[in-house]
Chain A
Amino acid sequence: MTFFVARRLLYLLPVLIAVSLLTFSIASLLPGDLAYTILGDQATPENVAALRHDMGLDQPIWWRYLSWLGNVLQGDFGRSFRTGQTVLQAVAERLPVSIELMLLAQLGALGIGVPLAIICAARSGGPFDRFMTGTAFGMLSVPTFLSAILLIYFFAVELRWLPATGYVPFAEDPLANLRFMVLPALTLALAEWPTIMRVLRSDMIATLQEDYIALAKAKGLTPARILFVHALKPSSLTLVTITGINIGRLIGGAVIVETIFALPGIGRLLIGAILTRDLIILQGVVLLVGAGFVIMNFIVDMLYAVLDPRIRHGHA
């Protein structure tokens, strides 16, 4: 197991370097010049040249990349030229909101998807299975912003049960925090549960045809025990992968959902940075999110190995 972890960690390195390279090139690829952005109306050719020199923008790109990477490795991600906040400060303020949102969304998606998958697998081919498979397919094609607006319309404007926008930190008022989080998390969960259900359902149908399940049935175990104890764990390998990959999709969805529901999370920070061409914040956030995603995948790989010993021994 130690060898397996070490080897996987080694794979991680080139990926992280690639992430940092891509992130850095954002600044060079995006239209517009940072010096122009900072100077605005004060941008005369001389002022721009002077500022570019001060910021090292006149250096070759590899030199800029290395010095940026050097700073990043020392924990210095830079400072927004608009607000004066450091990237780490800004991220630290916003990250808890996004993590909470993603956890709740993932829990919601699993809470909807897993039970439905089990029921569908148990009655595969039946009317409920066919109906749910169809619904899941339909839900996959509903864009996040549309479900967000519909949820706001019904639950906030018409019924007035939940707030349309806003946020209260969990530490300040846990109950209020959850009230604000329900709709955004549900929006994301609605986009995720179909994948979870479809994957788990087909894996479970395959598992239920295995010999040991027939044996369990022959021994007279209750259907519930067979489904939950004997079939669920071996069927959930793909589910773990999907859940891991979903984190990446959730980050993408969070950008939209946080904007619509006015949650002060990483997604909003990213959108704000893009709109104001705050490239320092943009670079820093994309790098941190990218690295987080890569590390998340690493953890999923590890979980895989725990769930199925064949994987860590390289037999699968």
Chain B
Amino acid sequence: MKAAIRSSALARIFLVAGFGVALSAMPASAQKAGGSITVGLELDIPGFDPLKVGVYDTAALTASSAIFDTLTYLDANGKPQPKLALSWSSSEDFKTWTFKLRPGVKFHDGTPFNAEAYKANFDRQKDPVNKCRCAFYISNINNVQAPDELTLVYNLKDPSVNFPSLVSYASQNSAVHSPTAWKTKGDDYNRNPVGTGPYILKSWTAGDRMILEKNPDYWDKDKVNFDRITLKPLPDAQSRFASLQSGEVDLVWDDEYSADNIQKAQKDSKLTVHTYAGSGAAVYAMNTKTPPFDDVRVRQALVMALDRKKMSQAITNGLARPASNPYGEGSWVKCKDDGALPEDLEKAKALIKDYGKPVEFKMLVTATPRGRTVGQVLQQLWKRAGANMEIEQVDQATIPPRAFMRQFQMTPWRIVDLADPDIQMYANFRTGSPVALANYSNPELDKLLDRARVTADQNKRIEDYCEITRLINKEAIWFWTFQNTYYAISSAKVKGLPKMYSGVIDVSRAWKE
């Protein structure tokens, strides 16, 4: 293994000279500046202060990607490109990453953006006194240092080969806020965010609309087209779609659970359906320390009794794409053989019969229409195989703590779209990790996880991750139902929407024909 690392010594240093890289994948000539866009979001935005709101949801992300900048962004090929950082390099062990920052950038309130300001953002999230729900996502980072005005150093606990991709979207952790603003505004900062991004928050009526106006001093203003972005929370899926049809809004967020609208829009020439097949999937973990899941036969039986096509048809009109591994089509990890167990009801029945005892267990589901539906469908599928599942409805916020404390037999979970599988795979399956929900330990699996994270050669990493899936599928400690897919529907005039990485609808560089 050592030799493998040494042989790729050159490949280890990623240095991007980025002045010339265009931020938009579209040709500049097609763009049209001016005008405005109105976006219909599915949720009210609670605010932007990570200490208050914890984790940004899809609605907050659309706003934050216009108000804030990040160090990098992902281009159409999924490769990190310079944004607030111009270039980056890593240490040999991938535990230290150094970013060179863009000079001359200012926050909307005039505060200069520099390494010190960035570090202040990080320290605020990390400080245990602040009890930020956002801290979990940066637990792999020891600290951030600012050796000079334009140099930023990340010191990681564990190696991360693909780190610059992980700070590429304006999430609760990666959006850069003005330290002056949060210090002077206190409790009010949450609803008065200040970033360095292409748009400035002009007004915000709670529950109604947020108006963003073009930042005249933006460092990349030639790529920014709309003069104004209006964001409106339209919680009802039917009326949100009706607003798009009637022309009141130009673009709406959507998802598979309102499949009718998506399928209607696909047939409408005045509308464009934007879709992104993400990496990641909807997944479920079985607690292998509790019966009946301490027996591999039961676990395998439940996986084999799944009929994902039927599930997809019942829940999403067939839009949801079945998953047999945790990576998803949008991931660079593609497996020829992921070791998926066959969907085979007869075999499932035989395994349960072989187990000999009644298979009865409780499964956590979210107390939402969606959670209940999925729970009921699974219940029926497993009943056919002779397993009795009882649905336990809890609110969304209860699932993570219950999961972390292992107070469950089966729990839903999600592998979100990150640009690199390492963080989540390592956390979910490495022995002793707080998120290794299955309570499962296997030295072989640990070895593969350890190796994949320090290998610079992507092909070798792919092999490792596929081997990891084969092992998990065989042991059936977790199973995957559907790949993450994201949807937005817009008027056909809206152009220049980038790929919806992590489900983020970023309209900050779009335009209308």
Which A residues are within 8 Å of any B CB, using their own CB? 30-33, 36-45, 47-48, 51, 81-85, 90, 93-94, 148-149, 152-153, 156-157, 160, 163-167, 169, 259-262, 264-265, 268-269, 271-272, 276-277
B235 with A42: CB separation less than 8 A: no
Q: Is B140 an interface residue (CB 8 A)?
A: no
Give the total of B residues in contact with A, Cβ under 8 Å. Answer: 50
15 other A-B residue contacts (CB within 8 Å) besides A32-B394, A36-B398: A37-B397, A40-B397, A41-B137, A42-B136, A43-B400, A47-B131, A81-B52, A82-B46, A152-B238, A163-B246, A165-B242, A165-B243, A166-B248, A259-B235, A262-B239
Give chain A residues whose Cβ lies under 8 Å from the Cβ of B240.
165, 262
Smallest CB separation, B95 vs chain A (Å): 23
Known contacts A41-B136, A164-B246, A165-B232; decide if A94 and B47 are in contact (CB<8 Å): no
A-B contact pairs, 24 of them (CB 8 A): A31-B367, A31-B394, A31-B395, A32-B394, A36-B397, A36-B398, A39-B133, A40-B136, A41-B401, A42-B132, A48-B401, A83-B47, A93-B205, A157-B246, A164-B246, A165-B40, A166-B248, A260-B236, A262-B208, A262-B233, A264-B206, A264-B208, A268-B235, A272-B207
User: Which residues of chain B are within 8 angstroms of A48 by Cβ–Cβ distance?
Assistant: 401
Q: How far is the CB of B145 from chain A (nearest CB, A)?
A: 24
Contact, CB under 8 Å: B133 / A40: yes
Indicate with 1 or 0, residue by residue over B397-429, a CB within 8 angstroms of chain A CB atoms: 110110011000000000000000000000000
How far apart sit A48 and B135, CA to CA, in the bound complex (Å)?
16
Closest to A258 in B: B207
Do A164 and B206 contact each other (CB < 8 Å), given the known contacts A83-B191, A84-B47, A262-B232?
no
In the complex, the answer to whether A39 meets B401 with C-beta atoms within 8 Å is yes
B431 contacts chain A at the CB level, 8 A cutoff: no
If A42-B133, A152-B242, A268-B44 touch, whether A84 touches B52 (CB-CB below 8 Å) is: yes
Contacts of A47 in B (CB 8 A): 131
B394 adjacent to A156 (CB under 8 Å): no
The answer to whether A264 and B398 touch (CB under 8 A), given A31-B393, A83-B46, A165-B239, is no
Closest CB-CB distance, B207 to chain A, in whole Å?
3
Which one of B191, B394, B404 contacts A43 once the chains associate, using CB atoms below 8 Å?
B404
B232, B236, B245, B398: which contacts A259 (Cβ < 8 A)?
B236
Q: Please give, as numbers and ranges, the residues of chain B lying within 8 Å of A31 by CB-CB distance.
A: 367, 393-395, 398
- Chain A neighbourhood of B236, CB < 8 A: 259-262
CB-CB nearest in chain B for A264:
B207
CB of B371 closer than 8 Å to a CB of A: no
A81 CB contacts on chain B under 8 angstroms: 52
Contact of B397 among A163, A259, A277 (CB under 8 A): A277
In the complex, chain A residues whose CB is within 8 Å of the CB of B243 = 156, 163-166, 262
Question: Closest Cβ of chain B: how far from A296's Cβ, in Å?
Answer: 24
- Cα-based distance from A153 to B397 in the complex (angstroms): 36
Residue in contact with B55 in the complex, picked from A40, A43, A268, CB distance below 8 Å? A40
C-alpha spacing A38/B401, complex, angstroms: 11
Residue of A nearest to B393 (CB): A31
> Per-residue CB proximity of B160-198 to A under 8 Å, as 1/0?
000000000000000000000000000110110000000
What residues of chain B lie closer than 8 Å to A268, measured between beta carbons?
Answer: 44, 207, 235
Complex Cα distance, B44 from A276, in Å, reads 10
**CB contact list, B106-149 vs A, under 8 A:** 131-133, 135-137
Asked if B246 contacts A156 (CB within 8 A), the reply is yes
What are the residues of chain B within 8 A of A44 when measuring CB–CB? 404
Are A82 and B367 within 8 A (Cβ)? no
B496: Cβ under 8 A from any A Cβ: no
Partner of A149, one of B40, B191, B239, B395: B239
Contact between B232 and A277, CB atoms less than 8 A apart: no
Residue of B nearest to A34 (CB): B397
Q: Judge if B53 is at the interface, Cβ distance under 8 Å.
A: yes
> Residue B318 at the A interface, CB < 8 A?
no
Inter-chain CA distance A45–B55, complex, in Å, is 21
- Assess whether B54 is interfacial by the CB under 8 Å rule: yes
Are A149 and B47 touching (Cβ within 8 A)? Answer: no
